[in-house]
Structure 1
Amino acid sequence: MKLDDEVVRNLAVAKLFRENTGKINSIDYSSDGLNMISSSDDDSVIIYDCQTGTKKRSVNSKKYGVDLIHFTHAKNTAVHCSTKVDDTIRYLSLHDNKYIRYFPGHTKKVVTLCMSPLDDMFLSGSLDKTIRLWDLRSQNCQGLMHVPGRPVAGFDPEGLIFAAGINSESVKLYDLRSFDKGPFNTFKLQRENDCDWTCLKFSPDGKTILLATNGAVIRLVDAFSGNVTYSLQGHTNNKGIALEASFSPDSNYVFSGSTDGQIYGWSSESGRLVATLPSEHNPVIQCVQFNPKYMMLATACNHMAFWIPQGLED
């Protein structure tokens, strides 16, 4: 089945999970698309089976809290940042709910965390105005960059380049092998008037950089020229919340939540709004991601919804 406008408009909730007592603050798929993980303000981590549409397991991080959770390349481990005690990043074994390693260094809230698609490297960015590069095998920071404001960061699909969005006005591109020499390209964008960048993602084909905000606009930027190709609008965000936006695996669509309980889907090729999907979310939808391998969208507020095209429910 190929994703097209009709299929996007036909997405419907196939499974709804009411496992959480607090807001789900982040979700992530395993690279094979078979599993999904969520972290919540209620300090719980839940793993879902995407093929059967069932909850597999839950673990807790009551002492440190949990946010920005990501699978590593090993299916039974994840990294996450903390919401209590300190701002250390933690490497968790999901199998026995034990921590494998701690990554100390940030002195304020970590606001961006991403795994390399290639290996055990990962990036973190914090309100302490630093971006750090890490390797899962060592608790020592592999690289440190001081930046002039709140950072967002993301790896390109090849894992060779990363982009850092700084102060909601410039995107800097770094070669991972020589990032200490500084960016090899910088795109200056017009400063957002009434919102900040809260999320940076490359499209799966590597051609576009998505900049989500805590306002009612999502920017799509050409990853080679730095030109803003589209400003996606139509969704509502009247609470200043960091709403996640995500590409479909074919890079042709962008999905976002909103503060009105609806999911919005745009064509990334034309910038037009393709679908507005009503949901049972209540009403702020913070997390939205499309499965990298299967025809499934996941959205989350205090509860989790799995969407598939109507007609596929069987």
Structure 2
Amino acid sequence: MAIMAEEDERRSTTAKTFPVRPKLKPTSNNSTPTAESKYWRSFKTPKDLQLPALVASITSISFAPTPPHDFALTHSATVTIFSSQTLEPKATISSAFSDTATSASFRSDSRLLAAGDLSGSVHVFDVKSRNPLRRLRGHSRPVRLVRYPRVDKLHLFSGGDDAVVKYWDVTTETQLFNLLGHKDYVRCGDASPVSDDMFISGSYDHTVRVWDVRASTSGSVMEISHGKPVEDVIYLPSGGIVATAGGNTVKIWDLIGGGRLLHTMESHNKTVTSLCVGKIGREGGEEAQQYRILTVSLDGYMKVFDYAKYKITHSMRFPNPLLSVGFSPDCSTRVIGTSNGTLYVGRRKVKEESAGEQALVDFAGLAVADDVPKRRALRPSYFRYFHRGQSEKPSETDYLIMRPKKVKLAEHDKLLKKFRHKEALVAALNRKNPENVVAVMEELVARKKLLRCVSNLDFEELELLLLFLQRYSTMPRYASFLMGLASKVVDMRTEDIRSSNELRGHIRNLKRDLEEEMRVQQSLQEIEGIISPLLRIAARR
């Protein structure tokens, strides 16, 4: 009967997955990466690429709108053009600048490049020869914004610290309109993707203004208040929605709806410095129209925002404060510039057709592989027949069934599996790993065997338990669990503790440590009581 009762007890006990893990340990929230997260992680810097140290801050990044989509950086008194194929410097323009270069912008045909500088001038260069073609003078303060319209090749607009937005005729080097309305530095802007006559500008006066050169005499046609100094503003591909960045917030606005606020994103801890539009997939692909907003900040994070669903879909951490970001129109290159001149270039690997498949098909799509020797058909009499498919790699559509990994069990896990509870507790105590000891104790609590194990410990094993409690009961991570256990141990084994000087010594040490921890906590509460009113007063000011 005793054997049957023991067997019933074993069957009734629910066996948990081994090895045991501590429940008190904080768990990370790393879920399975999504398809979009994998897409953005596929932008990696080639291992053989040696990027130059630009030293100065990278203030702007601009991609050429036509293939091969080279990109230009402004840093110090220099504009550097990088090849999109090799990701290495292709040309450097510095002789025309007398001060720090800002806000590079390619013309729609990628043959001309315009950039401002802190001396108040706008420079226009021939990309191929790097020769300066025009110098537009008119701003009295540093120029922070230079943009070409969507298709127009004869005009551009600029803005600067003089709070003025200017519309230029590049061919004659004359300003056509002085657009007034901002009351502080104009730091950013963007051209409309649907009209060459409209553009937007953002200022440190907390506002974004929409301009239409066809109605220039009446000032801006719309004004939006971001609420903080505007660091960047961009049109989204539809042309009716804009995104603004200021402080640590990014806001989405509906221009067609009269400047209505659609959403506010507050996922950065520091100032958001730059925005750009990224696209999921390649041109012509199934996902070619899924657009995202890429944001970078001084907190070192780049975040990808799906403005259709109003959620962050990917986040990436960099070691330096980020100032600028750019994404190529062909969805192959992502570039991020930092405050110390470090350049983070990510290139996406694109799968290409294998050369073998291409060689087997002619222009009519007919097989031309008559010269290719044919392999003999596999038959059960061949050795290869029984090993077929073992070296075959799975395709993207295959469902993989992974072979379960063999779990290595520690000594206490093996003992728990055999329902030898006391031996498992002693084995964990001998290993002196607090995580494993607490995990075993929690498992014994779930099985309702912990107190029985404590009552059956002999003198040496009880001393080992008291030594563990003394050492780890004051740790915040284990305190709530071990303090209650220590109280139970003292109540259950009072007679044994009184009869031994060594056990009494461990109890005295445990009491001393607890009293010291209580004094520390009381001192911290007193300090908090002193600081809290000061913090409230400072917040009111």
Q: Displacement, 1:227?
A: 1.5
How big is the shift at 1:168? 4.4
Tell me, in whole angstroms, the C-alpha distance in 1 between the residues paired with 2:213 and 2:292.
Answer: 28
* 1:11-32 deviation line (CA, Å, top 9, x unaligned): 4322462341211111101112
Quick one: distance in 2 between partners of 1:286 and 1:7? 24
Paired amino acid for 1:202: Y
Q: 1:55 aligns with which of 89, 99, 107?
A: 89
Residue matched to 2:243? 210
Q: Deviations over 1:7-60 (max 9, x none)?
A: 44424322462341211111101112521111102x222111213333322232
Counterpart residue number, 2:506: none
2:215 equivalent to 1:178: yes
Q: Which SS does the other structure have where 1:6 is aligned?
A: helix
The superposition leaves residues 179-213 of structure 1 with CA deviations (integer Å, 9 ceiling, x where unpaired) of: 223334x2443633xxx002221012213211122
Bigger helix share: 2
Is residue 59–residue 94 contact of structure 1 (8 Å, CA) maintained in 2?
no
- Please point out which of 299, 306, 309 is paired with 2:345: 306
1:25 aligns with 2:64: no
TM-score normalized by the length of structure 1: 0.84
| Residue aligning to 1:163 | 200
Asked which structure has the greater RCO (Cα within 8 Å, sep 6+), the reply is 1
Give ranges in structure 2 of 5+ residues lacking alignment. 1-34, 280-288, 353-541
Gaps of 5+ in 1: none
Change (3 A) 1:65 1:97: farther
Residues 14 and 313 of structure 1 are in contact (CA less than 8 Å); yes or no, is this contact kept in structure 2? no
Counterpart among 297, 311, 320 of residue 283 in structure 1: 320
Contact persistence 1:8–1:275 (CA under 8 A): no
Partner of 2:309: 270
Q: Residue 234 and residue 25 in structure 1: after superposition, are their counterparts in 2 closer, same or farther (change >3 A)?
A: same
3-state DSSP of counterpart to 1:173: strand
SS in 1 for 2:216: helix
- Among residues 169, 189, 192, which one is paired with 1:153 in the alignment? 189
* Distance in 1 of aligned mates of 2:135 and 2:158: 13
Aligned-pair Cα RMSD in Å: 2.6
Q: Is 1:102 paired with 2:135?
A: yes
Amino acid at match of 1:99: P
For the residues of structure 2 that align with 1:308 and 1:155, how far apart are their CA atoms? 27
| Higher CA-based Rg | 2
Correspondences of 1:1-314 after superposition (within 5 Å): 5-15=36-46, 17-33=51-67, 34-41=69-76, 43-61=77-95, 63-83=98-118, 86-120=119-153, 121-150=155-184, 151=186, 152-158=188-194, 159-165=196-202, 168-184=205-221, 186-189=222-225, 191-192=227-228, 196-213=229-246, 215-225=247-257, 226-237=259-270, 243-249=273-279, 250=289, 252-279=291-318, 282-301=319-338, 302-309=341-348, 312=350
Contact 1:132–1:143, Cα closer than 8 Å, also in 2: yes
Which digits, 9 at most, give the CA deviation of each residue in 1:117-176, with x for residues without a partner?
Answer: 111321111221211001221211011122241334322102232223455444433333
User: SS of 2:151's equivalent?
Assistant: coil
2:225 aligned partner, one-letter code: L
TM-score, structure 2 normalization: 0.51
Aligned residues: 298
Give, as a single letter, the amino acid of the residue that structure 2 aligns with 1:273: I
Residue identity (%):
14
1:258 partner letter: S
Query: Whole-Å Cα distance in 2 between the matches of residues 77 and 19 of structure 1?
Result: 26
Kindly state the Cα deviation for residue 5 of structure 1 after the two structures are TM-superposed: 2.6
Q: 1:98 to 1:208 in 2, by over 3 A?
A: same
